[in-house]
Amino acid sequence: MESSRDDFVIAIRSAFLKKGTQQRFSLLSLILFSLLLLILSNLNFKVIEYTKIGINEIVYRSSFIVSGPENFIKNSYIKIQNHFALYKENEKNKSELANLKAKYLVNEFVILENQRLKDIVDDYLIKSDTIFAKVLSDKGSPFLKSIISNRGSKHGVKLGMIAADEEYLIGKVVEVNYTTSRILLLSDLNSKIPVIIEPDGLLSILSGTGKDYGVIQYVEKNKPFTEDSIIYTSGTGGLFKAGMPIGRMNKISLNDEKKIDFFSDFSQLKFIEIFSYIKNEDK
């Protein structure tokens, strides 16, 4: 009994302390160092913050290069698939275009009228200078749904700025480095934004799920949602401008979980716009 305990201690000690032929550090010292890093980064220690920014810069760039071959294969596959679906899509687009042209004229009038009315109540916000950014990495992490853009504080990106894919809201800037920044996507588990569900005008909270859809929270169970329900930002809390389109109600889950299909496909983002909204007179 005594000797088996000794064996265990020897094996454990050897595992922790013994260095291999080409090992510079023992496992124990590296484990202690990672624990120290964890604790200091949790305490927002300045040196660790700077080290982290340095590592971020290296890793984001190298991640972009390393992902190159796989991105190429993936993009080629998508391209081929798209080619096969081209004819059908063209037919659909033609009929949609005809519809949209008619709606456009009506919209133009409504937009101008809305602009005029908002100007009167001093709620008319305009876009700040838009920063166009390339997506360096769209890491599908199980912990964080985020993308890395190639624009940072050097290009004027600030914390909390809005990220959009054309007109569609996709997230906000949560980390700014010198030449890169991280954008937390709406699909992230920790993302919660105030929204309005049109045409009923219901105010609610859109929560990320960590998957490729969001869910509507804090609404009554028997609210009459239809598959035509569109989700826009409500502007409550002042973080986002009201009326930015986000997604459409998933028709399969109208009654239970109330899933939202985002307009923008977060796994296909290549270029994004980063901006903030400012009051008309601040410009």
Q: Which residues make up the interface to another protein (CB under 8 A)?
A: 7, 10-12, 14-16, 18, 20-27, 30-31, 33-38, 41-42, 48, 51-52, 55-56, 59-60, 62-63, 66-67, 70-71, 74, 137-144, 146, 182, 189-190, 210, 212, 267
Identity of the amino acid at 282: D
Do the strands 131-137 and 192-198 form a parallel or antiparallel pair, or are they unpaired?
unpaired
260 within 8 A of 247, measured Cβ to Cβ: yes
Nearest distance, CB of residue 29 and another protein, angstroms:
9
- Closer to another protein by Cβ: residue 217 or 267: 267
- Closer to another protein by Cβ: residue 41 or 236: 41
Rounded distance between C-alpha atoms, residue 208 and residue 190, angstroms? 6
Q: How many CA atoms lie within 13 A of 244 on its CB side?
A: 29
- Closer to another protein by Cβ: residue 183 or 244: 183
Nearest distance, CB of residue 31 and another protein, angstroms:
5
Task: Write out the two tokens for 275.
Answer: 């901006």
Q: Could you tell me the maximum CA-CA distance found in the chain, to the nearest angstrom?
A: 89
- Closer to another protein by Cβ: residue 31 or 203: 31
Do the strands 125-127 and 277-279 form a parallel or antiparallel pair, or are they unpaired?
antiparallel
Nearest distance, CB of residue 59 and another protein, angstroms:
4
- Closer to another protein by Cβ: residue 92 or 211: 211
Rounded distance between C-alpha atoms, residue 161 and residue 275, angstroms? 6
Nearest distance, CB of residue 237 and another protein, angstroms:
21
Nearest distance, CB of residue 81 and another protein, angstroms:
16
CA dihedral for 201, 202, 203, 204, sign (positive or negative): negative
Mapped onto helix, strand or coil, the DSSP state of residue 85 is coil
